[in-house]
Structure 1
Amino acid sequence: MNQDYIIPNNWSVIEEGFDASRVESSESLFSIGNGAMGQRANFEEHYSGETFQGSYIAGVYYPDKTRVGWWKNGYPEYFAKVLNAPSWIGINVSINGEQLDLHACKKVENFRRELNMKEGWLSRSFTATLQNNMQVEVNSKRFLSLELDEVGAIKYSVKPVNNNATITFQPYLSSAITNKDTNWSDKFWDTLQVSHENELAFIQAKTMKTEFHTCTFMQSQLYVNDNSIAINLDAQKSENLVSFSYTQEVKKGDVFSIHKFGGYTVDRNHDKNELISAAKKTLKTATDLGFNGLLEKQKKSWGNIWEMADIAIQGDVKAQQGIRFNIFQLNQTYLGKDSRLNIGPKGFTGEKYGGSTYWDTEAYCIPFYMATKDQQVAKSLLEYRYNHLEKAIENAEKLGFKNGAALYPMVTMNGEECHNEWEITFEEIHRNGAIAFAIYNYHRYTGDYSYIPEKGLEVLIGIARFWQQRATFSTHKNKYVILGVTGPNEYENNVNNNFYTNYLAQWCIKYTLETIDKVASEYNSDYTRIMAKTNLSKAELEQWETVADGMYFPYSEEHQVYLQQDGFLDKELITVADLDKSQRPINQKWSWDRILRSPYIKQADTLQGFYFFEDQFTTEELERHFDFYEPFTVHESSLSPCVHSIQAAKLDRMEQAYTFYLRTSRLDLDDYNHEVHEGLHITSMAGTWMSIVEGFGGMRIKNDMLSFTPKIPKQWDAYSFKINFRNKILKMHVSQDQTTFTVEGNSDLQIMVNDKLITIQPNHLVTV
C-alpha cells in the first residue's frame, strides 16, 4: 500500500492530523533548503518520539572510513558522508513548568502542517493539552532565505487557551549531533568554541579530517500580540550547547511569539578566523529586515523562480501537486550559484547515498537546469567535472589504466571515488559515458560550443582513452567486448557486454574523434594546447577508431532486439505481471543472489540507450525493445518511471505514459518504494520534468532547432510550460484540442511542430 495522507493541493503539500508513525516520513516530505543549506522538517520544540534529526550545509562532508571485511586494489578508502550539522532550529518551550512535547501531551488536536511551494515556507499549527491540563494553541512558520542564503528564520507563537500561563522560550544551538548513516561511531565534529554576546550566540565547530570550519549562530526577538517586548535573558552554555531562556506571564488568549534567526557561516565562503564577524553581519541584515521583511523577499525570490520553471496542469490536482513538488525540491537543492557544488540524490533531505554527486546530474538534471535557468547554470555543472578531471585520471590509474585515461567516480564529493560496493565502484562504468553525453547535450541545446575547446575536449579525451583500454578484443567473436560490468540495471552485476555500456562506449569514442576534428579546424590554438597537454598521437586515434568500429552488441534474432547483456536469455523469463505481488518490492523481499539470477530490471537499461540516442533507432525498433523489456521492469529505481513515460508517450501509449508520469511525480508524496523516511529522491525529480516536456510535449532538438510533437493525457484539461532556448523564452500551452506557442523578447523563433516549420513572432500567439 502506498501512503495517501498528503492532501492534494495545487501549490502546497499539506498534512492534517497528528500521527507519530508519520513523523519521519513528513520530516522528509516537508524539508526546506536554499541551495546553500537545508534541513529536514524537524519540530522546533522538543520531541521525545521517533525522529530523524537533520540539518545540512552544502559542500561540507566527512570521509567515513569504508567498512568492508576485505580490501582490493583501487578500492575507495572512504565514503563521503553528508554531515548532520550543528542545529540552530531548536526552541524548548515550557508552560507552567511543563515541557511542550507532542509525544507526551494528553491530547493533540487540529494538527496541520503546510509546505507552501509558491512562496517557499513551512508552517505548522496545533492545539495541545499538556499533562498539567494547560491547553495551548501553537503556530510556527519557517523558511531558509534565498536572498540571504546563510540565514533562516522562524516565527513561533504560543497562545494559552484555558488559563493564564507562565511561558518560557529557550532558543538554543547544539553541536551534540550524530549521523544516522555512519559506518563507525567516529566523531564527525569538533566543537571549538561556544560563545554569546548580548542577544547573539555562536558555536564554532570544525569537521574532523576534512577540517571545514563553521559557525552556527542565532539571535531572537520577542513579541506579545505582535508588539515587540524586551525580556531579560538567562544564558546557559556547555561544551556543545548554548541557550537563552525568556520567561513571560501570558494572559489567556494573548499570543507570545519568538522570532528566531539562525544559520551558518562557513570557511568555504569566508576566512575561517572571520566566521563570527560574518555571522554578525548576516544577523544584522536579517534582524533589520525582520521576519516579515525577509518573508516578503522570500516570496519575491520564489516568484521569480516559478515565473520560469512552473509547469501548470489543469484538471488534475494530484498531477499538478506532483510536478510542482519536484520542481520546488530541485530548486531548494541547487540554484547554480556555486560551481563547487552539485546535486546530491537526497539533496538536503536525508543522509543516504552520502549526499554526493552521481551520474544522475548529467543524465537527468542538466536538461532541467538548461531549460529553466540561464545556460550558465548547466555550464557550471559541466565545469564541476572538468575541475575533477585530474582526480578521474587518478581513479583510473588505481584500477590499472594508463596514459591519461579517466574514470569518473560513481559517487564523489571532491572528484575521488567514494562508493563502497565493488560491483558499482569497479563495474558501473557507464557513468563515464553520461558525462560525455552531457557535453554533447549542452552544445546541442544551447548552441554554445565554447566549453568544448576551453575544457570539454580534455574531458572527452580522458573518457575515450578509458573506453579504448577497457574494451578487450575477442578472437572468438572477432569483435571488441566489454567484460565484467554493471549496467544501469543494478539487479545484474558482473555481466558481459551490457548493450547500453557498449553502445555508449562506441558513441563516446566516435563523438570525441569528431570533436577533435572540429576543434582542429576551428579552434587552432586550443587544439595545439590540448594536443601538447594530452600527448595525443595519430596512432592512438587509429586505435580508438578500431575499437569503436569493432564494438560487439549482443542481439537476439529470435526476438529482434539487442540483448541487455550476453546471458539475458538464459534467465527464467517470467514477467512482472506474473510475479506474486507479495514479493514486491523485490529489493526488500529477496536475497541478492535471487535478484541477480532473476530477469527483473530495476530501471531503464537497454531502453536508457534508446532514450539517449533515440534518433539512431527507428520508432519500430523502440517499440520492439519497449515491448520486450518493460514487462520485466520492476521500476524499483527512482530513475525508472520517467524514461518509460517519455518512451510510452512517443509510442502513443498515453494511458501507460500517464501512469508512469504519476509514479515519477508522486514517488515520494505517495511513497511508492516505502523509503521516504530516509529522504527524498531529488535527482529523479528532474526526470519528472522531462516526462512532461519531452514526453507529453515531445520536445527534441532536430536540425539545430526546437521540435515538438504535443500530446495530452485524457485526464488533463490542459498543461503549459516555459523553456529558455538559446536566451529566448518560449511558452507552450497544450489543451485537448489545440497547442499554442508564444515567444518573449524581440526576435522571431523558428520551431518544428509535428514536423512542420513554424515561425513565432515575439508576443504573438501561434495556434496549431
Structure 2
Amino acid sequence: MTAGTDWTWEYDGYEAADERLRESLCTLGNGYFATRGAFPECVADEVHYPGTYVAGCYNRLTSDVAGRRVENEDMVNVPNWLSLRFRPVGGEWLVPDAVTVLDHRQVLHLASGLLERLTRYALGEGRALFVRQQRFVHMADPHLAVLRTEFTAEGFAGALNVEATLDGEVTNSGVARYRALDGRHLTHVHTGTAAPDTVWLRCRTRTSDIRIGMAARLTADAPVADRHEGPCATQRVRLDLAPGRTVTVDKTIALHTSRDPAISDPLAAAIDRVGRAPGFDDLLEAHLTAWDRLWRRAALDIADGEAGSILRLHLFHVLQTLSPHTADLDVGVPARGLHGEAYRGHVFWDELFVLPYLNLHFPEVSRALLRYRHRRLDEACTAALKAGRRGALYPWQSGSDGREETQRLHLNPHSGRWLPDHSHLQYHVGSAIAYNVWQYCEASGDAEFLHTKGAEMLLQIARFWADSAVYDESLGRHRIRGVVGPDEYHDAYPDAKLPGLDDNAYTNVTAAWVLTRTLEVLQALPEPRRRELLERTGLDGGELEQWEDVSRTLHVPFHRGVISQFEGYGDLAELDWDRYRKRYDDIRRLDRILEAEGDTVNRYQASKQADVLMLGYLFSPAELQSLFSRLGYRLDEGTWSRTVDYYLDRTSHGSTLSGLVHGWVLARARRAEAWMFCQEALRGDIADLQGGTTGEGIHLGAMAGTLDLVQRGLTGLETRSGALWLDPVPLPELSSYGFAVQYQGHWGVRLRLERGRLEIAVPSSDRDPIDVRLPNRTVCLQPGETYQLMLPD
C-alpha cells in the first residue's frame, strides 16, 4: 500500500511479493551511481536484489544459449556496499523473511533524496528490536554514500552483533530471463584494511578491465574489528543495548572506477575520499543543499493529488539518473535508469522522450548526452559501411563503445523458446538522435554545437537515409526497405524468408525531416565551417541535390483513407481482439502469446505501441501537415483523425511509452480519452502495469515523458524558428500547474496554466526579448514582462 504526502513516497507493511518493485522505486542515485532500495540485511535472492550500478560501467561476456554462442554487454552490478546485518548475541541474523516483522514502514523523501526505513523485529517473550535506517547517495559528492542505522531495544537489555560488509561476490542476476547468460562480471577481487575503522575492496571487470575501488568507514560507540573472507571485507561491532536507549552505527562509503577523471588509482582515490569525508550530519547538510539547487531548477508546481505526487516521483528518478554530474561523464540515457538490469543497462532511443525535458532545465546535461552520441559517430559510420551504405547507422541498443548491442535471440517466457530478434533493424534511432540535436539547439541557442558536432551528426544521419532510399519507377518515389518501425511486433511479412518491412511511415517521414533540416543547417553554416565540414566528409553538390530530391519523394503508404504503418499493413488479417481479451488478463505482450500458440503477430493488424502516431508526438499538427505537403501528400484533420482512431483500435500497448504517446496525441486532438492514457503513463511503473518489469528497473523514457507532457504537450510549447510557440490544450484533470524553463540563456521563464488562463513571465535580465507565437498572434516579451492568454472554453 502506498501513502504519503506530495514530497514523500511511502510503503507500510512488509510484502515479500512487492519487494522488487519497491526496491526499484526507492533507488537512490546521483547521476554517477545508484543503489536499489533493498534491505541492507538481505542478500540477493528471489525476493531481494541490492544492486548498485555505475553510469557507463559495462562488461562484455559470451554465453552458450540454445546451442549458440551469444555475446552480451551488460551494465555491471558492482560490489554491494549496502550490506549491514545484525543479530542478538547467540541468536539468528534478523531478516524479514525468517523473523516476525511487527511493523515496517519505508519512506522515500523526495525533497532530500533520503530513504528512511523503520522496522520492528519480534524477538519473542515480549521483546523487540526497533531499527531505523537513513541512507543517501550523495548529490554533492557523487562518489559518496551513507547508511545510518539506529537500534533501539524494546523490553530487554543485551548485546547485539552488527556486521557491515563490502561484498564482491555479486553477479548480474536481477532479471530471471537473463539467468541463462553468464552474469559473473567481476574478477580479481581483493580486500584489506586502510585504518582501524576503514576497510577496502578492489576488483575489475572481466573483459572491459574497468578497475573498481571501494572503501567503507564504520563509526560506532564501540570498537570496530574487521575480517576478510574471500571477496568480502567485513567490519564487526558489538553493541550493548539498554531498554529504550538508541545506539547508532554509521557506514560511509566511497566508490571510484578507472573511468573517473583526475585520479591515478580508483582504490587509492576511494580510501582517500572516505578518509576525508566528514560525519553524517555534515554530509547530510551538503547533500540537502545540492538537492535544493536541483529542485529550484526543475520544480513543477502542481496541485496536490495523485498526479502531482507521481509526477514528482518521476522527476526525482530522472534527476537521480541524469543529474548535473552526468555532464562530466561519457554516458548515454539508460532506458531503465540506474535502477536494475533490464535491457542490460543499454541505451535505446529513450533520449527522444528524455532530452526535451532536460533541454529546458539542464541543457548542459542534454549536451553531454549528445556528445556521447557524437563520440560514437565513427562506429556508426563503420556500421553503415558494413551494411553497404554511406553515412551513419546508429545502433538500436548501445553501450560502452557504440557498436550494436541488440541481442540476436530473445526468450519468450510464455513458450520457453529462444527466438530470433530483429530489432536491430530499427534504423529510426538515427532520426531520433537528429531530432534531439535539433531540439536541443533550438531550446538552448547553442549555435556552436549545431555548427560543429551537431552538424556532423545530422550530415551523416541524413547521408545514411539518402543512401538507403531506392527509387521505384512504378511509384515515381523513393522507398526505404527492410526496416522495423517503433511497433516492434512486426519485423517481417508473413511467411517471408528475410526480416524487415518496406516503407514504414514513421521511418520515412522522419527520414524526410532529417534530410530537410540538415539541408537547412548546411545552408546556414558560416562559410569557413561549411567548407571544412564538406571537405572533411567528402560531401559534394551531387549528394545535396539527391538529398533535396529524396526529402520530397519518400513514399508514405495509405490504405482505406488512413496512413499505413508500413506498405501492406492494411492487407494483414484482422485480429479477434475480444477473443484474446477474454482468454488472457493481460495482452500487452500479444506477440509472446501468439508465438506460444504457434502463430505470429506478423500476420495481423496488431501493434505493440504507437508507431504512425509517433509522428503526432514529435510534430505539432501544423508542422506535420507541412512535412506531408513537402512530400506531396495532403494530411488534413480528417485523415489524421481517422488514422488516430484506426490505430487506437489495433494497439495492445505493450510498451510504457505507448500510453504516453497516445495521451499526448489525443490531448492535441482534444479527445476525451486522453486522460485514460495519461493515467496509464503516470501509473505504468508504480502499479507495475507491464507485469513485473518495474522490479527490473524503472522506465526512464516514460517517466521523463510524463514530465514533458505537462511541460510541452498540454501547453503546446515548442521551441523552433527562434521563438517560443504556445497552443494550450489543458485537460480537466491537469489544468492548473506551473513551471520555469531555461530558454536560450533566459533563466526562469515562468509558465503558469490555470483554469482558463495561460501566463508567461520573462525574468528581468539584460537578455534579448523573446518572441512568443500564439495561435492567433505574436507577442514580443521584454525581460521583466508578463503576458496572459485567456483560453477558449
Q: Please report the TM-score for the alignment, with normalisation by the length of structure 1.
A: 0.91
Q: Which amino acid aligns with 1:344?
A: P
In the alignment, is the contact (CA less than 8 A) between 2:657 and 2:702 conserved in 1? yes
Q: Which residue of 2 aligns with 1:683?
A: 701
**1:18-63 superposed Cα distances (whole Å, 9 cap, x missing partner):** 1111111111111111100011111111357622231111111111
Extract unaligned runs of 5+ from structure 2: 409-419, 492-499, 626-635
In the alignment, is the contact (CA less than 8 A) between 2:660 and 2:677 conserved in 1? yes
- Which is worse superposed, 34-43 or 431-440? 431-440
Provide closer, same or farther for how the CA distance between residues 467 and 297 of structure 1 changes in structure 2, counting only shifts above 3 A: same
Q: Which residue of 2 aligns with 1:594?
A: 600
Q: Which residue of 1 aligns with 2:761?
A: 742
- Which is worse superposed, 254-263 or 77-86? 77-86
Q: Which residue of 2 aligns with 1:39?
A: 35
Q: Which amino acid aligns with 2:452?
A: E
Provide closer, same or farther for how the CA distance between residues 380 and 563 of structure 1 changes in structure 2, counting only shifts above 3 A: same
Q: Which amino acid aligns with 1:688?
A: T
**1:334-360 superposed Cα distances (whole Å, 9 cap, x missing partner):** 123224112101111110112122111
- Which is worse superposed, 212-221 or 133-142? 133-142
Match of 2:59 among 58, 62, 70: 62
Give 1:762 shift.
4.4
Match of 2:332 among 342, 350, 370: 342
Report whether the alignment pairs 1:267 with 2:264.
no
Distance 1:143 1:203 in 2: 21
Provide closer, same or farther for how the CA distance between residues 720 and 247 of structure 1 changes in structure 2, counting only shifts above 3 A: same
Distance 1:738 1:464 in 2: 41
Provide closer, same or farther for how the CA distance between residues 267 and 12 of structure 1 changes in structure 2, counting only shifts above 3 A: same
Q: In structure 1, the residue corresponding to 2:337 is in which secondary structure?
A: coil
Q: Which amino acid aligns with 1:565?
A: F
Q: Which amino acid aligns with 1:720?
A: G
Q: Which residue of 1 aligns with 2:171?
A: 178
Q: Which amino acid aligns with 2:391?
A: A
Q: In structure 1, the residue corresponding to 2:3 is in which secondary structure?
A: coil
Q: Which amino acid aligns with 1:600?
A: A
Give 1:85 shift.
0.5
In the alignment, is the contact (CA less than 8 A) between 1:156 and 1:259 conserved in 2? yes
In the alignment, is the contact (CA less than 8 A) between 1:487 and 1:500 conserved in 2? yes
Q: How does 1:233-632 map to 2 (within 5 A)?
A: 233-269=224-260, 274-286=265-277, 288=278, 290-315=279-304, 317-335=305-323, 336-361=326-351, 363-373=352-362, 375-401=363-389, 404-413=390-399, 414-421=401-408, 423-493=421-491, 494-519=500-525, 523-556=526-559, 558=560, 560-574=561-575, 580-583=581-584, 584-587=586-589, 590-592=593-595, 593-614=599-620, 615-617=623-625, 618-632=636-650
Looking at both structures, which has the greater relative contact order when contacts are Cα pairs under 8 Å and sequence separation is at least 6? 1
Q: Which residue of 1 aligns with 2:651?
A: 633
Distance 2:264 2:444 in 1: 42
**1:612-664 superposed Cα distances (whole Å, 9 cap, x missing partner):** 233132544432321222222222212112222222121222x4222222211
In the alignment, is the contact (CA less than 8 A) between 1:8 and 1:318 conserved in 2? no
Q: Which amino acid aligns with 1:607?
A: L
Distance 1:104 1:383 in 2: 46
In the alignment, is the contact (CA less than 8 A) between 1:409 and 1:425 conserved in 2? no
**1:549-585 superposed Cα distances (whole Å, 9 cap, x missing partner):** 33211112x3x22211112112233586785254323
Provide closer, same or farther for how the CA distance between residues 461 and 106 of structure 1 changes in structure 2, counting only shifts above 3 A: closer
Runs of 4+ with deviation above 6 angstroms? none
Q: Which amino acid aligns with 1:757?
A: T
In the alignment, is the contact (CA less than 8 A) between 1:77 and 1:418 conserved in 2? no
Distance 2:579 2:444 in 1: 45
Distance 1:88 1:115 in 2: 20
In the alignment, is the contact (CA less than 8 A) between 1:270 and 1:278 conserved in 2? no
Match of 2:190 among 189, 193, 198: 193
**1:249-304 superposed Cα distances (whole Å, 9 cap, x missing partner):** 21111111111101311111157753233113321332x2x112211222221111
Provide closer, same or farther for how the CA distance between residues 90 and 399 of structure 1 changes in structure 2, counting only shifts above 3 A: same
Q: Which residue of 2 aligns with 1:140?
A: 133
Superposition RMSD in Å: 2.4
Distance 1:220 1:574 in 2: 61
Q: Which residue of 2 aligns with 1:733?
A: 752
Give 1:160 shift.
0.7
Distance 2:99 2:537 in 1: 71
Provide closer, same or farther for how the CA distance between residues 695 and 456 of structure 1 changes in structure 2, counting only shifts above 3 A: closer
Distance 1:515 1:509 in 2: 10
In the alignment, is the contact (CA less than 8 A) between 1:745 and 1:763 conserved in 2? yes
Q: Which residue of 2 aligns with 1:211?
A: 209
Distance 2:2 2:600 in 1: 35
Distance 1:131 1:234 in 2: 29
Match of 1:162 among 152, 155, 165: 155
**1:521-543 superposed Cα distances (whole Å, 9 cap, x missing partner):** xx222222222211122233333
Q: Please report the TM-score for the alignment, with normalisation by the length of structure 2.
A: 0.89
Q: Which amino acid aligns with 1:700?
A: E
**1:171-216 superposed Cα distances (whole Å, 9 cap, x missing partner):** 1111000111455336311134211122111111000110000101
Distance 1:425 1:441 in 2: 26
Match of 1:642 among 660, 663, 667: 660
Report whether the alignment pairs 1:656 with 2:673.
yes
Q: Which amino acid aligns with 2:193?
A: H
Distance 2:115 2:22 in 1: 12
Match of 1:117 among 110, 113, 117: 110
Match of 1:705 among 723, 727, 730: 723
Extract unaligned runs of 5+ from structure 1: 223-228
Identical pairs, percent: 23
Distance 1:263 1:577 in 2: 55
Give 1:741 shift.
2.5
Q: In structure 1, the residue corresponding to 2:334 is in which secondary structure?
A: coil
**1:89-114 superposed Cα distances (whole Å, 9 cap, x missing partner):** 11121113323433345421221001
Q: Which residue of 2 aligns with 1:24?
A: 20
Report whether the alignment pairs 1:671 with 2:688.
yes
Give 1:457 shift.
2.2
Number of aligned positions between the proteins: 740
